[in-house]
Structure 1
Amino acid sequence: MTSRPTAARIRVLIALSRPAVALLFTLYAALGLAQAGHAEDRLLLAECLVPVMAFLLCSVCVNDLSDQAIDRVNLPGDRSRPLVTAAAGSRDLVVMAVVSAAVALGAAFVLGPRPGLLILAALAVSAGYSLRPVRLADRGAVAALVLPACYVALPYLLALTATRTALQARDLLMLLGLYTGFIGRILLKDFRDVRGDTLFGKRTFLVRHGRRATCLFSACCWTVGSCVILAATPRPTLVLGCSYALCLAAALVILRALAGEVGHRREEALIAGAAAIGRGMLILQLAHLAMDQAGWGALARSTGVGALLVLVLAQTISVVRHGPATDLTIAALQTETTPSPDGHGRPKADRPAARA
């Protein structure tokens, strides 16, 4: 990428970092620290995020290289895929993958031998997920089980092993709940990619079993994961339990709607709404653990969780109604830059606004 301007390189790195995925990694790492009793240790969280984010960048580069042909069908013109838009070349991504893998390993071993070995194992799993001859991404249900191991288990366990010499039963129960819940969420990603996956013989759960079975299995995972997380939560309040129940109910309503035949825009909005609910439940859990470790009373914790619940549900309703924020931004830009008869960037008065 030496011939590219600095601004272009930064845009490529931001695209490859997958901000939504980076946020998930951050939440799972923070939950790992909170589970270990270090919810307020921001410096340690930053130290854990260095190898985690470097691992994410390496994995994305390897996956984009291996899925380039499929992405050209599923995501034409998508700025989050620099290979598809020609914002970066294959050589650029190979260099970034190698450098980020080295950074991930080095930063993890600085935290200790256990985090280092964990990153090493995760890099091997990530390579097996994307690269042949293993190529787990093409193996349907296996891919849905393996990918959450990198998304959930890696940041969560790395944060735990950086602070504890041994895992406790409650730690593993929490991991099981987070992992199961995320399986239900990651299955929904395949709706976006179903056309290219079918064309290239990628046997995802959705391709093999259809949308109704996928939504039903996702609903089961959401339900089981939520119950297990609550069971593993120390000193849960009634408000936390009710908040989880409301979020779960909202997720199930979204999945029921998604199981029917809906248009592409509606499908995209529903999946984005499910993602918002999933992130919100993680934030509720993290807030409860942090407030509990800070010594907040039950009433104060309940008030804080209740306020966060209102925000989560409000965001979810907005996303389900209007679609992802990225779509709204793109639609607005298209409207603003549509040329008018006088040559300016204003739309014609009788031209319908771009659909959000």
Structure 2
Amino acid sequence: MLDRQITDRIRVLVVLSRPAVAVLFALYVALGLAQAGHAEDRLLLAGCLIPVMAFLLCSVCVNDLSDRAIDQVNLPGDRNRPLVTAAAGSRELVVTAVVSATVALGSAFVLGPRPGLLMLAALAVSAGYSLRPIRLADRGAVAALALPACYVALPYLLALTAARSAVHPRDLLMLFGLYTGFIGRILLKDFRDVRGDALFGKRTFLVRHGRRATCLFSACGWTIGTCVILAATPRRTPALVCSYLLCLALALVILRILAGEVGHRREEALITGAAAIGRGMLILQLAHLAMSQAGWGALAYSTVMGALLALTLVQAAGMLRHGPTTGLTIASLREGATASPGGVASDRRASHIVRRGT
């Protein structure tokens, strides 16, 4: 019985860590180290991952607590939301958030004063994003600009400043490219949550401006981010440039399709396909920096870059065809059986908002 309880608690922590988001955090940490010239420093990588992952766990707990009512509408039965499924209680998430924040702040200061101060600022932004009276999550475009400060700037700058004290203009240019590209991708998350966001008055960019404007703004973020990253990349090669431009072209095609009227399942597949392309571009950038610093030969370099590009395209194609492997549960049978006419009207209202904006 005790073993079962321990296993359940570990499973809840894994779910709260949001594995897909954790992979992104790890990629940005690795990119920060690679930008600082420490792409192969595994000990420093591990040291940077501890505070970053603790920060992620704290942020998720705080966000889930503040968005509980919205998640019950957007994600009923979703096992990635322990509060919604009652796999964990509010008190448990509060304790987890406090402990995680303490670990994040303490381990960041172990790396140095600059990483520690960055973590302190990131925790403040994360709290302001989810908690009232500030609650940036309800402020549309402001939320889309603030969230990347935690998702991109923190792991990248924490790793960079842990590796070396000086921050060069090229480092900031790379950060701007990563930041802008992430804004283009994070806007697409609002499609999944539009129903609850509209019902609870959460004025996301999608709710405020509609489907076409959101896809256009996202396309601008993808394009500007890609160009800036390439401009900031040292020793860029034709293989990297061609790979990035191909990925960008595919992402823009996906956004063009998403801007039209598509069903929910097709919409979900398009968004996950775009996410796969975004992750692939980060991996390509990391591989380029690591191989360039290690002095790989042209043939080996081109082979690896080609393989990573092919893997990205295959994964994106699979997502576009089949959607995510663990699709979200929109409504359980129990909820569907007790659905009220008001719920149907709310769905129609949300759909109208997505199509035309407000």
Query: Given the two structures, how large is their TM-score scaled by the length of structure 2?
Result: 0.90
1:1-356 matches, within 5 Å, as 5-327=5-327
4+ aligned runs moved over 3 Å, structure 1: none
Structure 1 counterpart of 2:245, which letter? Answer: A
Structure 2 counterpart of 1:122, which letter? Answer: A
Cα offsets for 1:252-279 (capped at 9, x unmatched) = 1111111111111100000000000000
Structure 1 counterpart of 2:44, which letter? Answer: L
Corresponding residue for residue 354 of structure 1: none
Q: How many angstroms apart in 2 are the aligned matches of 1:327 and 1:81?
A: 13
Cα offsets for 1:106-132 (capped at 9, x unmatched) = 110110111011101000000000000
Distance change in 2, residues 1:3/1:318 (3 Å): closer
Per the TM alignment, residue 166 of structure 1 is displaced from its structure 2 partner at its CA by: 1.4
Q: How many angstroms apart in 1 are the aligned matches of 2:156 and 2:21?
A: 14
Per the TM alignment, residue 3 of structure 1 is displaced from its structure 2 partner at its CA by: 11
Q: Does the CA-based 8 Å contact 1:70-1:196 persist in structure 2? A: yes
Corresponding residue for residue 344 of structure 1: none
Q: How many angstroms apart in 1 are the aligned matches of 2:269 and 2:168?
A: 39
Question: Structure 2: which 5+ runs fail to align?
Answer: 330-358
Per the TM alignment, residue 163 of structure 1 is displaced from its structure 2 partner at its CA by: 1.1
Per the TM alignment, residue 4 of structure 1 is displaced from its structure 2 partner at its CA by: 7.5
| Percent of paired sites with the same residue | 83
Q: How many angstroms apart in 1 are the aligned matches of 2:4 and 2:57?
A: 19
Per the TM alignment, residue 309 of structure 1 is displaced from its structure 2 partner at its CA by: 0.4
Cα offsets for 1:26-78 (capped at 9, x unmatched) = 00000000000010111110100000000000000000000000000000011
Distance change in 2, residues 1:191/1:127 (3 Å): same
Q: How many angstroms apart in 2 are the aligned matches of 1:307 and 1:16?
A: 32
Structure 2 counterpart of 1:16, which letter? Answer: L
Q: How many angstroms apart in 2 are the aligned matches of 1:29 and 1:191?
A: 28
Structure 2 counterpart of 1:281, which letter? Answer: M
Structure 1 counterpart of 2:18, which letter? Answer: R
Distance change in 2, residues 1:151/1:11 (3 Å): same
Per the TM alignment, residue 157 of structure 1 is displaced from its structure 2 partner at its CA by: 0.2
Question: Structure 1: which 5+ runs fail to align?
Answer: 331-356
Instruction: Give the aligned CA root-mean-square deviation in angstroms.
Output: 1.5
User: What SS class does the counterpart of residue 198 from structure 2 fall into?
Assistant: helix
Q: How many angstroms apart in 2 are the aligned matches of 1:96 and 1:307?
A: 40
Q: Does the CA-based 8 Å contact 1:27-1:283 persist in structure 2? A: yes
Per the TM alignment, residue 297 of structure 1 is displaced from its structure 2 partner at its CA by: 2.6
Cα offsets for 1:92-151 (capped at 9, x unmatched) = 000000000000011101101110111010000000000000000000000000001100
Per the TM alignment, residue 16 of structure 1 is displaced from its structure 2 partner at its CA by: 0.3
User: What SS class does the counterpart of residue 226 from structure 1 fall into?
Assistant: helix
Distance change in 2, residues 1:148/1:199 (3 Å): same
Structure 1 counterpart of 2:24, which letter? Answer: L
Q: Does the CA-based 8 Å contact 1:230-1:236 persist in structure 2? A: yes
Structure 1 counterpart of 2:220, which letter? Answer: C
User: What SS class does the counterpart of residue 210 from structure 2 fall into?
Assistant: helix
Give the number of aligned pairs.
329
Q: How many angstroms apart in 2 are the aligned matches of 1:179 and 1:165?
A: 21
Structure 1 counterpart of 2:149, which letter? Answer: A
Query: Given the two structures, how large is their TM-score scaled by the length of structure 1?
Result: 0.91
Q: Does the CA-based 8 Å contact 1:237-1:302 persist in structure 2? A: no
User: What SS class does the counterpart of residue 252 from structure 1 fall into?
Assistant: helix
Corresponding residue for residue 333 of structure 1: none
Q: How many angstroms apart in 2 are the aligned matches of 1:66 and 1:4?
A: 29
Per the TM alignment, residue 165 of structure 1 is displaced from its structure 2 partner at its CA by: 1.1
User: What SS class does the counterpart of residue 163 from structure 2 fall into?
Assistant: coil
Q: How many angstroms apart in 1 are the aligned matches of 2:82 and 2:197?
A: 20
Q: How many angstroms apart in 1 are the aligned matches of 2:304 and 2:8?
A: 41
Q: How many angstroms apart in 2 are the aligned matches of 1:327 and 1:160?
A: 36
User: What SS class does the counterpart of residue 52 from structure 1 fall into?
Assistant: helix
